[in-house]
Structure 1
Amino acid sequence: MNSYGDGSHHRRARETVEDTPESWDVLQTKQRFDGHIIKVVTDTVRMPRDEAAERDYVVHPGAVAVLALDDQDRVLLIRQYRHPTRHLMWELPAGIRDVPGEPLVDTAARELAEEAGYRAATWHTLIDLRTSPGMSDERIRVFLARDLTKIPDEENGFVHRHEEIDMPVKWIPLPDAVEKALMGMIHNSPAVAGILAAYAASVEGLALLRPADAPEA
């Protein structure tokens, strides 16, 4: 339980601007829905001043996404139907963390190969996202993949199904991708975040990027 005594506001104002782990007491948990990938639960959480409040949220296994950047500074985008939004959306290659214990960069490499047909020799952690922290525990790590090579069709035995059938792949210059994100033409959150992060990181020559195996908070 957290204490909010006199002076706490001033102490907190001096703290470093960095998300930090913290877990408030959960008095009760009720499971509302258990699906193929997600669950929905209601936690009764002990709040400051010893009050309790219910919080509904989605339990999600997490995901990875890949911003693939070629030697011409073009971003690889794929287009996929997203039924909840009723839109065809331009996105980064991405996928669920569905292999227990698999390093995240390996998951990302597999998704890049399966969805786009490319391999990358150089990997960095680009950005970590909590996609909607008020309603879900989902977290997405977006990787930067460079030094790309096309996988010959005969070597890529992945079979596309459902939304992935006839999924186009398009290369677009990074500045153009930034413009499309800012103009509201690209809406997928890891795509927007990855595009803007890659553009910002390029100012420092990618020197600020973390290694591909950087720990998650």
Structure 2
Amino acid sequence: MSVARFKDLCVDVSCPSAMTSFWGQVLGLTSPADNPEVLVGDRPEKTIWINKVPEPRSVKQRVHLDVHTSAIEELEKLGAKMQSPITDEQHWAVMEDPEGGEFCGFVRDSVPAYRLMELVVDSAEPEAQARWWAGVVGGEVAQTPGKPWYWLENVPGLPFPYWVFVPVPEPKTVKNRIHWDVTADELQPVLDAGATLLRPKDDEIGWHVCADPEGNEFCVFLPPPAEESDGQA
């Protein structure tokens, strides 16, 4: 039984206005007038928070997005740069967003309104990571026979089809610039599952910052405390 539920995504950036515009157009999301640094869709789980951080991107991103697109040229018009083109062996283009963050574009004859295809996480042990997260948020672990990557599908609340874990040789060295949030009834079951508490909820933040077994940061949101009774019948 899962102990948490997927809530939304967060992207760290240097220039929120430019990156909100870029990702909104790439993913088919909009930014409300009263909060220009968040992207929203037709479900709360499609929300993406665009967070300004002081540190620039310094290494290959360990978490990236795969997106549907009608043409790679359309992504380039929005400000993306080509890193690695589509080939007979690679059926997607590796792109860079305006701040250099990697993402992959998959060309489709028919592009859905919401264009986030999957969340991809670099992993030392993809199978272990997939099974750990399945235990936390639910879903089914799947694999293509003979291939080294694993993914989750049918995850409750997940607004995109696949959550993929791929093998890489390099270890995690810096804070991820893309992370996800979850909701949970209690924090302790998430910790009991094997998460590490990096920063507890305090006067500055209203959530707990945790890390999975490979150090990927995620935030846990708990229900608000029940109001104390005023003693009246």
TM-score, length-scaled by structure 2: 0.25
TM-score, length-scaled by structure 1: 0.27
The structure with more helix, counted as a fraction of residues: 1
